[in-house]
Amino acid sequence: MAHLVDLRQGDARDTLRDLGGPVDVVLIDGWLGGEGPSLARQVMEIVAPQIRSGGLVMNDNGEADYLDFVRDPANGFRSMSLPLKGGTELSVKIG
Residue 54: which pLDDT band, with cuts at 50, 70 and 90?
Answer: very high
DSSP category for residue 5? -
- Whether residue 41 has pLDDT greater than 80: yes
Domain map (residue ranges) of the chain: 22-93
**Per-residue pLDDT reduced to its tens digit, 56-89:** 999 988 889 999 999 999 999 999 999 887 789 9
Which element (helix H / strand E) includes 81?
strand 77-81
10 Å CB burial of residue 93 (0-12, 13-18, 19+) is: buried
pTM of the entire predicted model? 0.86
- Whether residue 55 has pLDDT greater than 80: yes
**Per-residue pLDDT reduced to its tens digit, 5-22:** 888 889 989 999 999 889
Q: What is the DSSP string of 13-69?
A: HHHTS--SS-EEEEEE-----SSSS-HHHHHHHHHGGGEEEEEEEEESS--HHHHHH
State the CATH class of domain 22-93. Answer: alpha beta
